Chain A
C-alpha cells in the first residue's frame, strides 16, 4: 500500500489516499454522498467513498467498528467480486476503478464486545495484525519520528513496555507508540522527561488518579530527572 501510494500519483485525488474516521453517527450518506442545497438548487456531492471508487484511490476507513452496522454493509458490494457501489439516491451503480482499494482498521476486543466487526464484513478482507512493536523497534520508531536521542527513545520504549503490563489490571489500554513519540518530542524540545511522561503518557492514559501516580512513579524510576 505504501509502495503504491508512493509510486503512482493520481491527478484527481491528491495523495491518492482518502481517509475516513468512522464514528457512531457516520451514515451511509456521509460515505456515498448527498444532495446539498445551494442557492436555488440542490446539487449532488460525492462522498469520500464514491470519490475513491471513481478515481481508483485508496479509501481507508479508520476504526470501522465505531460506525453503525448498517453503514458498514454499504461496502459489501464493493468488496467482493462485484466491486460496485450502488447510490440509492441517484439510482446509480458505479463500478470501481481497477485501482480502487479499500482498507479498514479497528482495535479488536476494544471497548465493548458489542463493537465487533460483522463476520460477513470481516471475511471480505485479508488481515494484518499490528501489535506493539518490540522494544528495540519501538525505540527506533520513536527516535525516527521525534528526532530524540536514541537513549531517550530506548527509555521511552522501556517505559511503554512496562506500562503495558498494567493493561487489564488498572488500564484499559496500553500506551501507544504515538504517545511515546509525543513524549519524545517534548523531551527533545527541552521538557524534563518526567514531566513529558506525565503530560503525554500518564494523564493521557487514564483518569484514575492511582494509575496516573503509578505511571508517574515508573517514569521517575526510568528517568533520572
Chain B
C-alpha cells in the first residue's frame, strides 16, 4: 500500500482547507507538487495526522519561504517528530501555524521558535507541545522572540522547581499563553507564575492563570506593580490575595489610567499591610476614586502614598474616607488635615487609624476648622426645635448623605423622624448654608402641616388612610407606579408645600426666591456629572425663584422647563392637597414619557433636561410616530398636537388616574384627555400660557427611565416592606424604633485606644417604661413596712432647720430689740444710728437634685443567690424573710431600694429623677424614663417603677452623658448622680475586642469625669462583689460603694444618700 493513500485521502480532501491546499499544491507545478507529496509521505510514516497537518500549509509555505526555506521548514517539523525526544504533537502544532504568522522573519523566525520549543521538549514533550500550540500568536511581533525566551525560561523553571506539582504549574502557565504572553510584560511572567505557586493550594492554578480581563488595557508597569502587590499579599493570606487579583482590575474599570496608576502605586507602597482590609477596599476602589473630585484625585493619592509609606495599615481607612474628606473641606484644608493626622498617628497608631477613617472627634474638628459648610451636628438642635415649633410634634433628625432640595419622604411618619443632609456646603457662606438648611427644615415641617402624609390612594376612602401615614410611601413604592413617580412627586409636592407655606408664613416667600436664585446656577453646574436628582432639584429651584422663562439658566431647556412649570402651576393655588400633587406627579410622569420628534431633538438642546432626568437613557430618536404601540408604554404627545389627537380610541389611551377605573399595569400612562382635564379643571390652571407653546415631541419613553439608581433603592425598599424577615435586622430595628416615642440623641464616646472621642458614636433614644398597676410599689412599701418609718426618721433628722434668723436688717418682720436699744443709746448720745434694727427669718434652703440611673441590663434578671446557712447574722428579719422569697431577681431588689429611697426623698423634699438604661449596640442605647425632676410621685410614676424590667446590654458611657444632659436643665446648687449597677459596662460593640471590658470601663470613667466637670457629683453603687476591681479604675474610692449583700441594698441606699449628699 502506498503511504500516500493513507494520508492524501478523501478524508483530507473532503475538508475545504484540504481541498484548497491540494489545489494550491497542484498550481505550483508538477515537480514542486511531487516534492511536497514526497515530504508528506515521509511524515506519514511517523503519523498520518502529522502529514495531513503539514499538507494543509505546505503550498503556502513553499510560496512564502521559497524552495530552500520550504525544505528547511519541512525538516524542522520532521526533526521534531522523529529526533529524540520525539514530539509528534509538537510537530503537528508546528505545522498548524500558517506561514504568514511568522511575519517578515519568515522561516528564520520559525527556526528560532522551533529552537525554543525543541529545547523545552527536552524538559517535557507535553510542555513543548503546549508551547507550539499556544505561542504562535506573538511570532509576528518585533519583540515576539524576546517574550518567548522569557516565557520559556519561566515555564521550564516552574516545571523543574516544584516537584510533582511543577508539571501542573508549568502546563497551566503554558496554556495561558495566547493572552498572557501579550497582555503581560516579559518582566511580569515570573511574578505571575510565582503568584500561582504562592496561592496554591488555596487557589487552583487554573484560576490564577485566568488573567483578569480588565488588565488588557493596563500598561506594562501597572501590570507589574499590580502583580507584585498580589504576590506580597499572598504571603499574608492567599484567599485575600486572590480576591484582590481577581476583582481589583474590574473594580478599577472606568478610572482614568493616570489615576489608576497612582492608585496602584499607593497599594504597592502599602504592601502586605493591606491584607486585612483588602475585602473592604477592592469592591469599592473604583467607586471611591470616582467620588473624589476629578481635579483632586492625584493630590489625594499622593497623600495616600505618603501615608502608605509611613503607616501602611491606615491607608485603606483613609482611602475610604477620602471622598468625604474632600466633600467636607477645601483641598488646602485637606493638606493640613493630613499633616495633623500624621502627627496623631505617630503618637498613637489606633488614634491615627480612627483619625484617617474620619471617626475621631479631633479628625472632624481639624477638617472642619474654618469651613463655611454647616454640619448637621451643629445645626441639629436648632433645626429640631424649628421643625418642632412649626409642626407642633417632637422630631428626631436623621442625617443623610448628600444634599437634595427635595428631601426624602419620611418612611414611617408616626415615628417623627425626619431626614436632613449631614452637611450643607452648596453656598459660599456659612450663613447661606444655614439658610438652605432652614429652607429644607421648613419643607419638612410644611409636609406635616399641610398633610403630605395624610395621602389617601385614589379609590380609597378618607377613612381608609392608615393612621401611621405610611399609605403614601406604600403607594409610591408599588411596582405598578410609573418609575420616577416618587421623584416627580417630590417635585410636585415640594412646589405645593412651598406655596402653602408661603401662604401661611410671609417670611418664606422671599426665602424661597433667595434659595431658588442661589441654587439655580449651582445646580446647573452639577448637572454635567450628575443625574436626575440635580435636574429635578434645578427645576424646583427655578420654580422657587419665581422666575419666568427669561430667568431660566441657559443650561436648562426652555421648552422642557416650561412644560414642567406649566404642569406644576396649579399647585400654587390655595387649599391644594397631597392628592393634587400626586395627580400632577402622574401628569409629569406621563408628559416626560411622551414621544418626541426628531425635529425638536435636533433643533435645540431642550432634550438635555429630559435626557438628564432619565439618566441619559436616550430613546431611539428615529421611532416612527405613526407606529405608536398601543400598549401601556406611554408614548404620548403633549401640547398642541396632543390636543388635536384627543380623538384617539380609548383603548389606546388608558386612563390610569381615574379613581374608579384604576388599571394596574405598566407605566400608568396618562391620556391627553386626562391631562387636558387636569390642566383645565385643576385649580386655577394658567392654561392659556400653556396652549400656545410648541412643546410637542419633547419627551421620553417612560420605560427607558427604569434601571437607574432609584430602581435599586426601590428594590431594596420593596423587599424591606414586603418581607420583614429578609431585611437583615431591619425588622427588629424598626420595631425598636416604633417603641421610641421621643427624639434620639447622639453622643461621642471615648476610645482609649485612640485617646480621643469617637464622634457621634452612640445614638440614644428615650423610651417610656411600661407601667404596672402600681402593685409592685405597694407591695414594696408593705414588705419594708418596718424599715420605712425608720428611714423617714433618719431623714427628718438631716432635714435642715428650715429658718434662720437674720439680724441687722433695714427692714424685716420684727424688731431686733438689741439693735433698737443700741440705736436708742446712740441717738441719746447724739450720734447717728445705723438704722438697721430689724430682724427676719430666712429660709434655709436645701437645694439638692439627685438623679438615679439604673442599670437595666439582662444580668439583673439573675435570681438572688440563697444566703448560706449561718451567714445571716447581719441581716434583719425583713431581709431574711425577703431573701427567701423565691423568684426575686437583682432588679427587684434594686427597684425596692429605689422605692424606699423615694419615700425618704419625699420626706426631705430634694428634687429627684429616676431613669434606667440599656440597649443593644451603639445605635440603640435606650434610656428609660421612670420619673423626671418635674414630675411628682404620681400613680403613673409608681407604676413605671414597678414596670422596670431587665433589657439587654450595659452601655454606661452614653447613658451617663445623657443623664448629665438631663441634669444640666436643673438649677439646683448641689447635683448628684447615683449609678446603680450590677456589673461592669458591657455591650457587644463596646470596644473592638468583645472579651475585653477595658474600653467600656475607660469610657465610663471619662463620662463620670465629664459629669464632675459639669458640676454633678457622681456616685456608683454596685451589687457586684467583684466591683472593686473595675470601680477603682473608673472613679475615686470615695465615689463608689460595693454592696456585698444585695439584700441589704434597700437599707443601705438611703444611708449612702445621706452620707454622700451631706458630704
Given A28-B813, A223-B507, A224-B507, is A114 in contact with B389 using a C-beta cutoff of 8 Å? no
Does A196 make an interface contact (CB < 8 A)? no
Does B309 make an interface contact (CB < 8 A)? no
B507, A220: Cβ atoms closer than 8 Å: yes
B909, A165: Cβ atoms closer than 8 Å: no
| One of B366-374, B379-387, B475-483 contacting the partner | B379-387
B388, A165: Cβ atoms closer than 8 Å: yes
Does A184 make an interface contact (CB < 8 A)? no
Does B814 make an interface contact (CB < 8 A)? yes
Give chain B residues whose Cβ lies under 8 Å from the Cβ of A132: none
Contact with A along B792-825 (1 / 0, CB 8 A): 0000000000000000000011110000100000
Given A112-B911, A217-B438, A221-B390, is A155 in contact with B506 using a C-beta cutoff of 8 Å? yes
Give chain A residues whose Cβ lies under 8 Å from the Cβ of B911: 112-114
Does B840 make an interface contact (CB < 8 A)? yes
B843, A214: Cβ atoms closer than 8 Å: no
Give chain A residues whose Cβ lies under 8 Å from the Cβ of B511: 220-221
Shortest Cβ distance from A169 into B: residue: B394
A29, B382: Cβ atoms closer than 8 Å: no
Number of cross-chain contacts by CB at 8 Å? 87
Does B103 make an interface contact (CB < 8 A)? no
A166, B389: Cβ atoms closer than 8 Å: yes
Given A29-B813, A169-B388, A215-B389, is A210 in contact with B508 using a C-beta cutoff of 8 Å? no
Interface centre among A166, A221, A223 (most CB of B within 10 A): A221
**Smallest beta-carbon distance A118→chain B, Å:** 14
Give chain B residues whose Cβ lies under 8 Å from the Cβ of A155: 506
Contact with B along A1-45 (1 / 0, CB 8 A): 000000000000000000000001101111000110100000000
Bound-complex Cα distance A173 to B386 (A): 16
Given A28-B813, A109-B934, A214-B382, is A166 in contact with B909 using a C-beta cutoff of 8 Å? no
B506, A217: Cβ atoms closer than 8 Å: no
A27, B813: Cβ atoms closer than 8 Å: yes
Contact with B along A102-128 (1 / 0, CB 8 A): 000000010011100000000000000
B442, A221: Cβ atoms closer than 8 Å: yes
Bound-complex Cα distance A214 to B393 (A): 15
- Interface residue range, chain B: 35 or more
Does B735 make an interface contact (CB < 8 A)? no
B507, A210: Cβ atoms closer than 8 Å: no
A35, B813: Cβ atoms closer than 8 Å: no
Does A189 make an interface contact (CB < 8 A)? no
Give chain A residues whose Cβ lies under 8 Å from the Cβ of B814: 29, 34
A24, B843: Cβ atoms closer than 8 Å: yes
Bound-complex Cα distance A25 to B812 (A): 9
B506, A162: Cβ atoms closer than 8 Å: no
Bound-complex Cα distance A222 to B934 (A): 32
Does B392 make an interface contact (CB < 8 A)? yes
Shortest Cβ distance from A224 into B: residue: B506
Bound-complex Cα distance A208 to B59 (A): 99
Bound-complex Cα distance A109 to B909 (A): 16
Which residue in A27, A158, A214 is a CB contact (below 8 Å) of B385? Answer: A214
Give chain B residues whose Cβ lies under 8 Å from the Cβ of A169: 385, 388, 394, 743
Bound-complex Cα distance A166 to B511 (A): 23
Bound-complex Cα distance A219 to B385 (A): 13
**Smallest beta-carbon distance A113→chain B, Å:** 5
Contact with A along B843-855 (1 / 0, CB 8 A): 1000000000000
Give chain B residues whose Cβ lies under 8 Å from the Cβ of A113: 911, 934-936
Does A97 make an interface contact (CB < 8 A)? no
Which residue in A158, A162, A221 is a CB contact (below 8 Å) of B508? Answer: A221
Does B419 make an interface contact (CB < 8 A)? no
Does B277 make an interface contact (CB < 8 A)? no
Does A98 make an interface contact (CB < 8 A)? no
Give chain A residues whose Cβ lies under 8 Å from the Cβ of B866: none
Which residue in A25, A165, A210, A223 is a CB contact (below 8 Å) of B506? Answer: A223
B388, A218: Cβ atoms closer than 8 Å: no
Interface residues of A in 165-187 (CB under 8 A from B): 165-166, 169-170
B390, A210: Cβ atoms closer than 8 Å: no
Give chain B residues whose Cβ lies under 8 Å from the Cβ of A225: 507
Bound-complex Cα distance A166 to B394 (A): 8
Given A166-B388, A217-B382, is A222 in contact with B507 using a C-beta cutoff of 8 Å? yes
Given A27-B813, A29-B814, is A165 in contact with B507 using a C-beta cutoff of 8 Å? no
Does B622 make an interface contact (CB < 8 A)? no
Given A29-B813, A114-B911, A213-B382, is A218 in contact with B506 using a C-beta cutoff of 8 Å? no
Does B509 make an interface contact (CB < 8 A)? yes
Does B164 make an interface contact (CB < 8 A)? no
**Smallest beta-carbon distance B912→chain A, Å:** 10
Bound-complex Cα distance A210 to B386 (A): 10
B382, A210: Cβ atoms closer than 8 Å: yes
Which residue in B509, B842, B843, B935 is a CB contact (below 8 Å) of A224? Answer: B509
Give chain A residues whose Cβ lies under 8 Å from the Cβ of B820: 37
B507, A221: Cβ atoms closer than 8 Å: yes
**Smallest beta-carbon distance A63→chain B, Å:** 16
Give chain A residues whose Cβ lies under 8 Å from the Cβ of B813: 27-30, 34
Does A68 make an interface contact (CB < 8 A)? yes
Shortest Cβ distance from A172 into B: residue: B969
Give chain A residues whose Cβ lies under 8 Å from the Cβ of B385: 166, 169-170, 210-211, 214
Give chain B residues whose Cβ lies under 8 Å from the Cβ of A222: 505-507
**Smallest beta-carbon distance B296→chain A, Å:** 34
Does A163 make an interface contact (CB < 8 A)? yes
Does B23 make an interface contact (CB < 8 A)? no
Give chain A residues whose Cβ lies under 8 Å from the Cβ of B877: none
Given A24-B843, A109-B934, A166-B388, is A221 in contact with B505 using a C-beta cutoff of 8 Å? yes
Does B510 make an interface contact (CB < 8 A)? yes
A224, B840: Cβ atoms closer than 8 Å: no
Bound-complex Cα distance A31 to B390 (A): 45
**Smallest beta-carbon distance A220→chain B, Å:** 5
Bound-complex Cα distance A163 to B390 (A): 8
Which residue in B386, B394, B506, B510 is a CB contact (below 8 Å) of A214? Answer: B386
Give chain A residues whose Cβ lies under 8 Å from the Cβ of B842: 25
Given A29-B813, A224-B509, A224-B510, is A210 in contact with B843 using a C-beta cutoff of 8 Å? no
Give chain A residues whose Cβ lies under 8 Å from the Cβ of B393: 165
**Smallest beta-carbon distance A73→chain B, Å:** 14
Contact with A along B879-914 (1 / 0, CB 8 A): 000000000000000000000000000000101000
Give chain B residues whose Cβ lies under 8 Å from the Cβ of A210: 381-382, 385
Bound-complex Cα distance A24 to B847 (A): 14
B506, A163: Cβ atoms closer than 8 Å: no
Given A155-B506, A214-B382, A221-B505, is A165 in contact with B936 using a C-beta cutoff of 8 Å? no
B934, A217: Cβ atoms closer than 8 Å: no
A163, B389: Cβ atoms closer than 8 Å: yes
Give chain B residues whose Cβ lies under 8 Å from the Cβ of A213: 382
Shortest Cβ distance from A211 into B: residue: B385
Bound-complex Cα distance A112 to B394 (A): 23
Bound-complex Cα distance A32 to B837 (A): 20
Bound-complex Cα distance A218 to B391 (A): 11
A217, B381: Cβ atoms closer than 8 Å: no
Shortest Cβ distance from B969 into A: residue: A172
Given contacts A113-B936, A165-B388, A165-B389, could you give 9 more A-B pairs where the C-beta distance is less than 8 Å? A27-B840, A29-B814, A112-B911, A165-B391, A165-B393, A217-B382, A220-B511, A221-B442, A222-B506
A sample of 6 cross-chain residue pairs with beta-carbon separation below 8 angstroms, ordered by A number, consists of: A25-B840, A27-B840, A29-B813, A163-B389, A211-B385, A221-B508
Nearest 9 pairs of A and B residues by beta carbon: A214-B385, A224-B506, A27-B813, A162-B389, A165-B392, A210-B381, A29-B813, A221-B507, A221-B505
